[in-house]
Structure 1
Amino acid sequence: MPEDGHGITLFGVLKKEWQIVFLLKDKKTNCRRKRRERKRRGKGIFAIKKDTQKNQFSHSFFTARCARTRKIKAIIARVQAIMDIVRFFTKGEIVMLNRIGFVDKVKVWNFVKTYENLLEVERWNGKQNSSGRKCLWFGLGVELGFKSTVFEGFEINNSLRKKCNDLWCGSDWNSILLYKYQAGCELKNHVDRDIFDSKVIVINISEDSLLDGNVEFYYNGNIEILSNGEIVEFNSKISHGIKKLKSERWSLSIRKIITA
């Protein structure tokens, strides 16, 4: 076979060219293989591959799991940052609905029924309204209207005061509002007036449901389902309300009325 001036045969030149072509193909194949491996790692649990000899999971699964953990931590950090901003603008007051627990359902129903004959139709500016709700104030009460007037309500006995102190975690409250809602009633979304402190403890008293909750409580842009006998704490300066009820409902709320 003829040789060129550098002493390399034509066969040798072709052989080197083939080696270069094959080398380039190998590099391209390796890149594709690496890309496929990265995709498999990103699919989380679908990337699990078990080594039958060592009985261990492959490295790709643990890499994917670490990646998911980092993403979750990043999401938690963002949520905490948002909550910090909210706390700053709300002066550290509670924002989210706090589900405290439950009271005895039978006892609380018996308690509210003993005051049913003392309930008054809800009033606005001294006139009865057509909301379908009735109420009774214990301790300090408020006559709502263009000008809110504070008055002395029904007396709070020592037993009731002690139980409310436990729920409030203190004794700096001064008012209890007992409400009765007829079926079909609602409470439109609103924020409480400045005469009320932002902290409110509410006992929801409603009929039991197979789904463990039948009262739709609108709060802070969300619908929260309340169950019979459930105790919740929320910020009354955040928009809240009760969606139209399908059955009778009572609520007992512990409040602080600002008198000075």
Structure 2
Amino acid sequence: MTQSVVVQVGQCGNQVGCRFWDLALREHAHVNKKGLYDEALSSFFRNVDSRGGDRGAGGIIQHLKARAVLVDMEEGVVNKLLQGPLREVFDSTQLLTDVSGSGNNWAVGHLTYGSVYREQMVEQLRRAAEHCDCLQCFFIIHSMGGGTGSGLGTRVLGLLEEEFPEVCRIVTAVYPSAEDDVVTSPYNSVLAMRELSEHADCVLPVDNQSLLDIVSRISLMAHGAKPELVIRRDGTLASRRGGIAGAEKPFDAMNNIVANLLLNITRETC
């Protein structure tokens, strides 16, 4: 029985991570009708009892906790996640936040915050790893254009190589589109790419413009542009919110596609 730890860094990383955990829970609920904590569920979730201890596979689901570490130098996205339907899946020991952000500057995220929070990040990563019986890999989700995602995200990647050199590091990196309005995003991406080439075992690049194009096509298909192309509007791809109720956010549909990508890649792992 193997486990994986998801490390979400920055606004984009945590938004995509939110969609991933939502879809993972929905998929397991669909096939796991008896409510048992099985090996597939243990790949990404712990089963915690009332005393705070982990229960092994085969028992009834008590209280699921995601095998995740959430990092962001702004509190907004993480706070919304903790106030939403998935709030019970995470706790304070899995979070690391600041209030000022990285100002879309790779160096601030990588060097400044990377140095200030180094020990805390290492401690959280070690704690997540210690809850695993057989740690298979780390999944890092971050953007390449933002300061925290690109800078601190790649710093976390380097820390993982230092602390867990034998554990595979799989990165989902969201690249900015050519029309990105953040003037520093190309520089952040170039600086981050060097770190990825040095420290990642596998990189899954995701292009923002391609996501926008896919969302547009899905929207047309969901509304029946052509009879042979109609898809369910409430399906996991067409739905902007997944299983989470509430008002739609601008990037929910795009994040949903990335979450589906990750879930399909990890299905064999589960």
**Which TM-score bucket, shorter chain as reference?**
under 0.3
More helix by share: 2
- Taking CA–CA contacts closer than 8 Å with sequence separation of 6 or more, which of the two structures ends up with the larger relative contact order? 2
TM-score (norm 2): 0.22
Structure whose alpha-carbon radius of gyration is higher = 1
TM-score (norm 1): 0.22
